[in-house]
Structure 1
Amino acid sequence: MKPACSYAATHAASLADPAAFWLAQAHLLPWHTPPTEALSRDANGFYRWFRDGELNTCYLCLDYHVQHGRADQPALIYDSPVTNTRRTYTYAELLDRTARFAGGLRAIGVGFGDRVILYLPNVPEALIAMLACARLGAIHSVVFGGFAPPELAVRIDDAQPRAIICASGGMEFDRVIPYKPLVDEAISKAIFKPAHVVVLQRDFVPAALQPGRDLDYQDLLQAAPVPAVPVPATHPLYILYTSGTTGRPKGVVRDHGGHAVALRFSMAAIYNLEPGEVIFTGSDIGWAVGSSYIVYGPLLRGCTTVLFEGKPVRTPDAGTFWRLVAQHNVRVMFTAPTAIRAIKKEDPEGVLARQYDLRGLRHLFLAGERCDPATYDWARELLGVPVVDHWWQTESGWPMLATLVGLDDMPAPRAGSAGHPVPGYDLQILDEAGQPVPAGTTGLVAVRLPLPPGCFPTLWNDDARFREAYLAPYPGYYLSGDGGYRDAEGYTYIMGRVDDVINVAGHRLSTGEIEEILAAHPAVAECAVLGIADELRGQVPVGVVVLKDGQTIGEEALEKDLVASVRHRIGALACFRRVLVAQRLPKTRSGKILRKTLRQLADGEAFTLPSTIDDPLIIDEIRGDLQRRGIGRAFAPDQPT
């Protein structure tokens, strides 16, 4: 049922007394032990939610609905055009498989507090594995299938999983990607060795099993079902790794209690979805969006979720998303602007969309990177429904800015803006001294503490980094790392990262990590990686390198070498394809490379040279190099130098 309160009243209440507001929301869930205390602090002084409560997320997602009349309702629709497979699972069927797989995990030694890494494509078995871990109180960590072995090895060493659950392979368009060899290589590189690898065999790419270590996924499904284990609300549900500016990934921790409360609230207030209605989230389970709004959010609300294995184009065409919406009676669709841009590129007139009956769709939500107004307007005119661009991060786990279509008197969405602060978020735009700035002034996007339920309480095994990266810069605030501004009418605009993490089609990648790879080449003396604007992906990384004296390698040959190195270390998802050889890099007198200035130069933006630049003539040199290689956008002749 749609909440009776207006947006303004709800948001004000959530800030006036956060503990009372969220305790009332918590009591809408079936707890094993209901919390009596909403907000507290742990031994580190970090805020925690519902510390004296006990529950189990898997029980809330499955058992509760089966026990209360939804046993025969579809819980999961699996649609895989790349394998020509479609299956529907009712809540009862999904519960049976999850409880049995949990029994299989328990039989191989997985229990409360153990970590399990999932390296799987968007298949039902991935959701079952996630929920089975939650059922046992084990902590899962989904690693995006496109990550290369060195990246997976880092996560193995950090999480130290008892088991890895992987598919034998995945499929992208008409290309088979074997997963099992990547997992084997990652384990060989990792210091920590998991006890077991559970392999989901797929017919098109069978994998050999290592005796004594590897197990077949289907064998674990033959175990007797086990009940859900009540866990403390503050117990970790999962770890999700996100890139850091140092190149070392940060393990974002999500807890059972706050996560469940926040996602259930968001499904009603932000997305206005009733139990039984259908949501399609065009994302991957390796992203926060996938965990929150393919898996947990819809099932907590008693909705039907569509799990899609494929791409928005070429599977088989740019109409595949619209087919899903029409065929499965989707009410809310959620995807990234990148997907809409890809569809628009291949079907600019929207011919394929008009082949389907899309009248059941109520809203299109976008997140992952800023949606440009042209794409926003194209989608809105094509679909004839409100398009909602909203903003959040892996760290928050659910939206911080949005147009909450489930609340009354909500200001309408606006092109270019991510909307207004979601209840629970006291979002501020700060200057570098930590003071709020006037409307229309760009600054640092921060949230006054405490963060609401659902946000990360800390980083996995790294409280010091959590404090240093997010809390220490501006005491009393969570620093998001993004810049933006708020206009006179209260709409907030997110302008992008203020650090050296770039956003490639929703993947946050560290420029520092890519620079380490480039710098390892024997011909490279120094380098800088820029995230330059890209019409399809939001940003793509470009390397600017200076060669060592005496090196004679050609620019194209070097580019080929470096592209291959990045692909091997990070994966194709980095979209690293261009390298520019420069005579020198622009730096301050203290030696700091002016990456922001380089990015602005490549993007064709106006900029002011820092007064600390060592030699302004370098900018003209690199401008000529960029034009020579056709990298970036056209440069206006009157740009400052």
Structure 2
Amino acid sequence: MTQSTPAAHDDEQRTYASVAQAAAEDPKAFWLGAAQAIDWVTSPTQALDDANAPIYRWFPDGTLNVCANALDRHVEMGNGERVALVYDSPVTDTVREYTFTALLDEVSRFARALADRGITKGDRVVIYMPMVPEAAIAMLACARLGAVHSVVFGGFAANELAVRIDDLRPKAVISSSCGIEKTRIIEYKPLLDEALRIATAQPEFSVVVQREQHRAELRDGFDLDYADLLAATPEGIDPVPVLATDPLYVLYTSGTTGKPKGILRDAGGYAVALQWSMGNLFGLQPGDTMFTASDVGWVVGHSYIVYAPLLAGVTTVLYEGKPVGTPDASAFYRVMDQHDVNVFFTAPTAMRVVRKEDPDAEHARTADLSALRAVFLAGERLDPDTYEWTTKTMAEATGRDIPVVDNWWQTETGWPIAANPLGIERLPLKAGSPTVPTPGYRLRVVDPAGNDVPAGTEGLILADLPLPPGTMASIWGDDERFVSTYLSTFEGTYLTGDSGYLDEDGYVFVMGRTDDVINVSGHRLSTGVLEAAIAGHPAVTECAVIGVHDETSGQSPRAFVVLSPNADPETISQELVALVRSEVGPVAALRRVDVVDALPKTRSGKILRKTMRQISDGEGDVVVPSTIEDPSVLDAMRATLSRRAE
């Protein structure tokens, strides 16, 4: 492989302004320079392929292997005994370390075991796993073979797994016998078996990681035991070179009603962007430690638990537990103390949960956080109150000024659109803002007609094309949908789907989604998925789900339903909560169902979800659209909510 050298634009005199300017004025030169930090089989000479604009592809003539960059090169550079991954599992009372050498050995042997069973470059593999090391190992093994992985969060129910299997048509599924919560064991194998029963597409085999807390019954001729496979595979396999534009993974995001929406990520652009982000945004260098309290089923887990830290030679902590309850609100602080964490990354919801149990942050003051340099919070809007509390907590616990950095991004972008670039220059923080656009992203705010609006005026947030490397390459199997969903609303731009504004200093303020997606504890859920489950109940004639403000989780789903005559509201409400849990999964967290006589609609039949949300959140000045069909329906809804409040 071509060995990496320092990027040409790196020097000690850099400022955010100079780096952002360089990325904006000549993005091709800028990202070719950043690409030098990656080891290539064939180094790219062309930065950008714009022949199919508005679909752009980065480094089209480069070849590499992402797994080799994450593991092999660190071993080859003599850093094999450095710790690559720490598995910290309070739910199983386990802490286990993997050096780069040990992790490479297991990844390489598992990759060979998959290859021996027919998995080759371009094949797809679904990974349905809890937060265990084998989840990361499976991802990296697929990357080593050039196979395309798709991780499905273990909290999703069988039918949600089935629609992803049908869309991706994988050759294999890798799963676990169970997931472990603080009070219960969730058997994964029955969920997988039910998903395969529902699905039309059928993989050729599955691999199951058997856990001692519960061992699953395996089907002869189809299910393979992970441990047995490794025991029978003493030798690993070399990494398979792929084009930079070849797919690395598919990750399904909100809007999975009807045909699911699989975000397609390519190999080369993603590796370059994540490598660049670790030093420049997070200020992390080889030998540092990053603790990202997320899940590999989400984009944050893909990017900042697995790929980015390992690419950069940074130790990553893979945590199987909760912010509280495993055992208490000290959990995160204990991990930071025990593993000398330099950067901690989690969701604002997690800090709200910790604050609720430990409002005076007594646990933080008893931990040794001397290694901590920064806290990053993302996954939803960081409200000023949580920002201030977290900042105060970290300052009191460390006696130092620890930056608490909001950062804004999406499954689609794969890495931050806006952040405080600590590795370049620490900028002043502003509560409620993720700071400034990341170099490479050129943001605009427009009105509904596409006209730029003045600073401080809220509108639709757009990003000019081409987007930087690492962002989505397309929607799996559907370029037309990719263009129509994200790239065609306003010519030459990417529609983020978020609203907000840029202030006079160029700081970004993101106020919320413009579509019907709710954000529960950092997890984006389409209201359509929840509504589809509720509408399946025979007593429901009409329904709408909205996200309402929740002090702990940011938003919580609230269902409004119209029932058939003679249906018992209390009974049906309980059944609907159970139904959503069964069909969508516990992550949906639906607890509130309000039975109403009718839903407010426009004359064209559109349900007024925004108006419903404003009423439910108790907003005083609710603007009722002039197109409403029957204003009395809103009055009845207010009366229903008032009775519930009493």
**Which residue in the other structure is 1:286 paired with?**
297
| RMSD, aligned α-carbons | 1.3
Cα displacement (A) at 1:568: 1.1
Candidates 498, 506, 517, aligned match of 1:490: 506
Do structure 1's residue 439 and structure 2's residue 470 form an aligned pair?
no
- Write out aligned runs for 1:42-441 (5 A): 43=52, 46-222=55-231, 223=233, 224-244=235-255, 246=257, 248-384=259-395, 385-408=402-425, 410-441=426-457
TM-score normalised according to structure 2 size: 0.96
Does structure 2 retain, via aligned residues, the 8 Å contact 1:120–1:165? yes
1:175-219, Cα deviation, whole Å (9 max, x unpaired): 100001100000000001111110000011100110010100112
**Which residue in the other structure is 1:616 paired with?**
631
Candidates 492, 498, 521, aligned match of 1:476: 492
Candidates 591, 602, 624, aligned match of 1:577: 591
Tell me the amino acid that sits aligned with residue 467 of structure 2. Answer: L
Does structure 2 retain, via aligned residues, the 8 Å contact 1:245–1:499? no
**Which residue in the other structure is 2:576 paired with?**
562
- 1:386 and 1:458 map into 2 onto residues whose CA distance is 35
Cα displacement (A) at 1:515: 1.4
1:574-604, Cα deviation, whole Å (9 max, x unpaired): 0111111111111112221111000011111
Tell me the amino acid that sits aligned with residue 439 of structure 2. Answer: P
**Which residue in the other structure is 1:600 paired with?**
614
Corresponding residue SS for 1:27: helix
Cα displacement (A) at 1:484: 0.8
Query: Kindly tell me: are residues 45 and 449 of structure 1, through their superposed partners in 2, closer, same or farther at Cα, counting changes over 3 Å?
Result: closer
Following TM superposition, where does structure 1 have runs of at least 4 consecutive aligned residues deviating by more than 3 angstroms? 42-45, 245-248
Query: Kindly tell me: are residues 327 and 8 of structure 1, through their superposed partners in 2, closer, same or farther at Cα, counting changes over 3 Å?
Result: same
- The sequence identity of aligned pairs, in percent, is 55
Candidates 553, 557, 580, aligned match of 1:537: 553
TM-score normalised according to structure 1 size: 0.96
Corresponding residue SS for 1:444: strand
Does structure 1 retain, via aligned residues, the 8 Å contact 2:120–2:146? yes
Cα displacement (A) at 1:618: 2.1
Does structure 1 retain, via aligned residues, the 8 Å contact 2:167–2:260? no
1:206-246, Cα deviation, whole Å (9 max, x unpaired): 00110010100112223120000111000111110001174
Cα displacement (A) at 1:43: 4.8
- 2:80 and 2:439 map into 1 onto residues whose CA distance is 32
Corresponding residue SS for 2:220: coil
- 2:463 and 2:26 map into 1 onto residues whose CA distance is 16
Corresponding residue SS for 1:88: strand
Cα displacement (A) at 1:480: 0.8
Tell me the amino acid that sits aligned with residue 323 of structure 2. Answer: P
1:148-190, Cα deviation, whole Å (9 max, x unpaired): 0000000100111111000000101021000011000000000
**Which residue in the other structure is 1:512 paired with?**
528
1:77-129, Cα deviation, whole Å (9 max, x unpaired): 11000001111110000011111010100011111000011111111111111
Candidates 24, 27, 35, aligned match of 1:18: 27
**Which residue in the other structure is 1:636 paired with?**
none
- 2:304 and 2:577 map into 1 onto residues whose CA distance is 33
**Which residue in the other structure is 2:42 paired with?**
33
Cα displacement (A) at 1:352: 1.1
Does structure 2 retain, via aligned residues, the 8 Å contact 1:402–1:421? yes
Corresponding residue SS for 1:310: coil
**Which residue in the other structure is 1:625 paired with?**
640
- 1:506 and 1:381 map into 2 onto residues whose CA distance is 22
Cα displacement (A) at 1:617: 2.5
- 2:202 and 2:382 map into 1 onto residues whose CA distance is 42
- 2:51 and 2:321 map into 1 onto residues whose CA distance is 43
538-547 or 209-218: which moved more?
538-547
Tell me the amino acid that sits aligned with residue 284 of structure 1. Answer: D
- How many pairs are equivalent? 628
- 2:313 and 2:198 map into 1 onto residues whose CA distance is 42
Corresponding residue SS for 2:95: strand
In structure 1, the gaps of 5 or more residues are 632-641
1:396-421, Cα deviation, whole Å (9 max, x unpaired): 0000010010113x422211111110
